Structure 1
Amino acid sequence: MLTARQKVPALLTLCLTLLVPTSARAAADAPAERQLQRRPVVLVHGYNADPGVWGALRADLRAAGYADSELFSWGYDTHRSVNEELSGRLAAYVEEVRRQTGADRVDVVAHSFGSLVSRWYVKFGGGAATVDHWVSLAGPNHGTSTAWACALWDQACRDMTPNSYVQKNLAAGDETPGTVKYATFWSDCDEVINPDGSVPLTGAANTGVGCLKHNDLLGDATTTSGVRAFLAS
């Protein structure tokens, strides 16, 4: 039997023994919890559109475990200049997302014209340090001849025409700079992007989705599944 003087050290030893495994478990679990945290996703819509176009992809990402607080749909005036105005506004939006979420990097998914805005941000606006995955759905990444139809009065259309100032600068040097992971999804029946081969980029994971119309890539289950898998890579 322990004396009163012996009981105190014994109790202290027992407490320390019980605490050590708990602390060790907490330290071991912390990295796992951090690994489970996803990067916030910034969705950038295309020309003459709005954030409402992302309903299908947002639903798919939520079904995969994303919370609404991790999904951000940026809205903007699609008739403005890619390089002089819109890429800077996107940069400010990404910074606000990072501030809200505490994330060091975000993933960007863009449709159509939004691909040019977000590419300019990544290549020239500091986005190479803040974007982890970048996805282009049906983006006019090397220009589209259909943009000539509105180029006379619309700056965004001029930016989308082949060999425009924006196109030449985005194509110069490395099309997929930095450590960002790039992916494109394109259709061989796209009535807006002409030629269809405008979408793929050197250095990106380029995926043909078959015969889909331009806006159908936004709701196609196979395409959204591919986007989700790429973001998880």
Structure 2
Amino acid sequence: MKSLLTRWLLALTVAAATLVGLPSPAQAANWTPSSNPILFVHGWNSSASTWNTMISRFQADGWPSSYLRAFSYNTSQSNATTAQTVSQEVDKLLAATGATKVDIVTHSMGGLSSRYYLKNLASSGKVDRWVSLGGPNHGTSSANTCFSTACVEMRVGSTFLANLNSGDETPGSFTYGTFWSSCDGVINPADSTVLSGATNTKTACVGHLSLITDATIYGQVRDFVNP
């Protein structure tokens, strides 16, 4: 009888949560009302849709859709220019949710514009945690074969990276985390992603794009931004 009553009460709770648009108990295992909204920044020659799998997983874990924002941008322009867009997107997400801080999750080149934003444009009160998935934080030889402004900035030894990495690689009161794979294949050297002062995690042997679709890595990212 007790087990039947427990199941009945749980069913009522789930139904009530569904009616008011709140996460069910199963979904809310990770998200809490104090969790930050998340801004996703894609990489070179990509778009906001690259985040569809990860966003759907965050939603399944209870994050409201209004707390998950991805946007597309011109990946040929300077990362310094894109940083201005990142700044605008952070402000939009804060305004839409009423939150006081956001977390930023990035893939590949998206880590560079967002790092520029944190170092040069961000108010320390706007961002809590930042994640780089396979970011060319110290350059990649793959960028030697493309010639847009953004590609030149991603080359090992570029002026852009020298300035970005000068002094403290993880400045401000933000919490930095990187995830990199020895089997990345696009970021060369693979450990280019690693930053001094960050929590640096070597993942399983996965390719560059799998860093944003692998279920295990998703769980690691989720737990990093929502400790």
TM class by shorter chain equals: 0.7 to 0.9
2:51 equivalent to 1:54: yes
Q: 1 CA distance for matches of 2:40 and 2:123?
A: 15
Partner of 2:34: 37
Alignment-mate amino acid for residue 49 of structure 1? S
SS of 2:169's partner is coil
Q: Deviations for 1:94-122, whole angstroms, at most 9, x for unmatched residues? A: 11111111112110000000000100000
- Mean CA deviation greater in 207-216 or 120-129: 120-129
Task: Give the letter for the 2:84 counterpart.
Answer: G
**Corresponding residue SS for 1:119:** helix
Aligned AA (1:92) = Q
Could you tell me which residue of structure 1 aligns to residue 160 of structure 2? 166
Note closer, same or farther for the CA distance 1:127–1:226 as it changes in structure 2 (3 Å cut).
Answer: farther
Could you tell me the TM-score, scaled by structure 1's length?
0.81
- Structure 2 unaligned spans of 5+: 1-31
Unaligned runs of 5+ in 1: 1-34
1:135 corresponds to which residue? 131
1:190 maps to 2:187: no
After superposition, the C-alpha distances for 1:33-89 in whole angstroms (9 at most, x for unaligned) are xx7332110000111011111122112111211010110002111111011x11011
CA distance in 1, matches of 2:61, 2:183: 29
The 1-side partners of 2:133 and 2:42 are apart by 10
Q: TM-score, normalised by structure 2?
A: 0.84
Aligned to 1:12: none
Residues 231 and 49 (structure 1 numbering): CA distance in 2 closer, same or farther, change over 3 Å?
A: same
Counterpart CA distance in 2 for 1:100 and 1:64 is: 20
Q: Confirm whether residue 215 of structure 1 aligns to residue 209 of structure 2.
A: yes
Measure, in 2, the Cα distance between the counterparts of 1:181 and 1:40.
15
Structure 1 residue 113 corresponds to structure 2 residue 104? no
Letter in 1 for 2:68: L
Contact 1:121 1:127 in 2 (8 A): no
Instruction: Give SS of 1:115's match.
Output: helix
Q: In the alignment, what sits opposite 2:198?
A: 204
Aligned-partner residue type, residue 39 of structure 2? V
Cα distance, 1:129 vs. partner?
Answer: 3.2
Query: 1:57 touches 1:218 (CA, 8 Å); kept in 2?
Result: yes
CA offsets per residue over residues 130-156 of structure 1, 9 Å max, x none? Answer: 1101000000010001101013xx001
Distance 2:183 2:123 in 1: 31
* Number of matched pairs: 196
Instruction: Report the Cα offset of residue 127 of structure 1.
Output: 4.8
- What is the CA deviation profile of residues 144-192 of structure 1, one whole-angstrom value per residue up to 9, with x for unaligned ones? 01101013xx001011011112201111011111111110000001111
The question of whether the paired residues in 2 share the 8 Å contact of 1:128 and 1:177 is answered with no
Match of 1:96 among 92, 96, 113: 92
**What is the match of residue 23 of structure 1?**
none
SS of residue paired to 2:70: strand
Q: Tell me: CA distance 1:81–1:127, structure 2 relative to 1, closer, same or farther (3 Å).
A: farther
Conservation of the 8 A alpha-carbon contact between 2:180 and 2:193? yes
Whole-angstrom distance in 2 between the partners of 1:197 and 1:215: 16
Cα distance in 2 between the residues matched to 1:99 and 1:171: 31
Q: Tell me how large the CA RMSD over aligned residues is.
A: 1.1
Partners of 2:69 and 2:79 in 1: CA distance: 20
The letter of the residue matching 1:87 is A
Deviation at 1:128, TM superposition (A): 3.5
